[in-house]
A and B are shown apart, each in its own frame.
Chain A
């Protein structure tokens, strides 16, 4: 699962652009991750502020 720390997230959309399957959505001020996420971690890698984390 991908954990989204919404207290950190600056809702910039950078993570959305790199998801290979389009599972990330920026809804105004929060991030939603769809169920088909493969937990590849690409989105978490590019976040400028470290708001995403692959949870084991």
Chain B
């Protein structure tokens, strides 16, 4: 479908989780919404390990077996020397997490946006923003090879890690290499793994300034991937090289049926996420968790708040920065503290050597984490390792 009217209340750039939830919410609140996506197929190729918490995803959408590849009960974290601790975020003992099929999940979210009344236009790439009288008034775009102008009272950048919308409107979104985790992942088929648990492996040889994950994907397969600090990535030791080494050694008979590459912002959220006539959501606003790299739920939460605030602003006829700021304020109230803590832990974590990491895991060996959240586990770690984690004490009292 081509973009017909050249004026909308809201134009959303990017049809990932952030864009689709924003579009769905704003359309449901009565705004005239267009969501554009540069790819010709929403959700493809994937750049994600597809792990989410079950209760959190349920806050946004009714789970549907079409886009759930597997369910897990918990996680095991492995120190460089192989010692492990087990973590499961659920008190009742039921499954706690999903591995999604993001190709289908992202599409399901986009069709929810469409069903709520949003227009969707694929193979359409934003190429710039239109600024008049200091306000963002729309975008320029390329649709099926044709340049066009799309005017809107509010432009929402949901354009992911490679976001340009913010930059074009004068918000500096450039990441330092150390503020990016760069990663690679194989979907490995026909392997023997415990389908009930996610694995996380730490260590400088496996994933310097990062970690390696094994997320069950059902039917003897798993997403096996790793991400490392962008500043420690070098020729010969890139994510793809490190991953190949691990997979060859650990799953010599596994078959790789998909390759994923990608970067996730670990800078912590942008200092400003809105300006006159413009809002940024999801990875575009660097809202992913700096410690875990998880960004799907954060993107969806932001999309919901942004969609509501944008629709209200439209109905009031006020799209100034001051008005749109409400989105940022609510978002920070809900997520700011947690992400700040994550950033502090990540900053400490990347300075640890293998023996520090071994000591950390040993310090909590045998402790029953089965009813603890990640936050509670970090709290125990800080208590058990007062010296090593001195700088984090204030954050975990």
Q: How far is the CB of A34 from chain B (nearest CB, A)?
A: 12
Q: Are the CB atoms of B240 and A17 closer together than 8 Å?
A: no
> Does residue A50 face the partner (Cβ distance < 8 Å to B)?
yes
Q: Which residues of chain B from 37 to 84 have any CB-CB distance to chain A below 8 Å in the complex? A: 38-40, 45, 47
Q: Which residue of B lies closest to A19 (CB)?
A: B174
Q: Which of A12, A28, A49 contacts B125 (CB 8 A)?
A: A28
Q: Are the CB atoms of B125 and A17 closer together than 8 Å?
A: no
> Does residue A2 face the partner (Cβ distance < 8 Å to B)?
no
Q: Which residue of A lies closest to B240 (CB)?
A: A49
Q: Which residues of chain A from 34 to 53 have any CB-CB distance to chain B below 8 Å in the complex? A: 42, 45-50
Q: Are the CB atoms of A20 and B177 closer together than 8 Å?
A: no
Which A residues lie within 8 Å of B38 (CB)? 27-28
Q: Are the CB atoms of B162 and A16 closer together than 8 Å?
A: yes
In the assembly, what is the distance between CA of A12 and CA of B182, in Å?
Answer: 10
Q: How far is the CB of A43 from chain B (nearest CB, A)?
A: 10
> Does residue B239 face the partner (Cβ distance < 8 Å to A)?
yes
Q: Are the CB atoms of B45 and A18 closer together than 8 Å?
A: no
> Does residue B230 face the partner (Cβ distance < 8 Å to A)?
yes
Q: Which residues of chain B from 229 to 253 have any CB-CB distance to chain A below 8 Å in the complex? A: 230-231, 233-235, 238-240
> Given A18-B176, A19-B174, A50-B238, is A11 in contact with B163 using a C-beta cutoff of 8 Å?
no
Which A residues lie within 8 Å of B238 (CB)? 47-50
Which B residues lie within 8 Å of A13 (CB)? 47, 160-162, 262-263
Residues of A within 8 Å of B, CB-based: how many?
A: 23
Q: Which residues of chain B from 163 to 189 have any CB-CB distance to chain A below 8 Å in the complex? A: 163-164, 167, 173-177, 180, 182-184
> Given A13-B160, A16-B162, is A46 in contact with B261 using a C-beta cutoff of 8 Å?
no
In the assembly, what is the distance between CA of A35 and CA of B259, in Å?
Answer: 31
> Does residue B265 face the partner (Cβ distance < 8 Å to A)?
yes
Q: Are the CB atoms of B230 and A27 closer together than 8 Å?
A: no
Q: Are the CB atoms of B160 and A47 closer together than 8 Å?
A: no
Most B-side CB within 10 Å, residue of A10, A19, A20: A10
> Does residue A14 face the partner (Cβ distance < 8 Å to B)?
yes
Q: Which residue of A lies closest to B173 (CB)?
A: A17
Q: Are the CB atoms of A18 and B180 closer together than 8 Å?
A: yes
In the assembly, what is the distance between CA of A48 and CA of B230, in Å?
Answer: 9
> Given A18-B176, A18-B230, A19-B174, is A10 in contact with B182 using a C-beta cutoff of 8 Å?
no
Q: Which residues of A contact B (CB under 8 A)?
A: 10-20, 22, 25-28, 42, 45-50
Which A-B residue pairs are the 3 nearest by beta carbons?
A14-B263, A13-B162, A10-B261
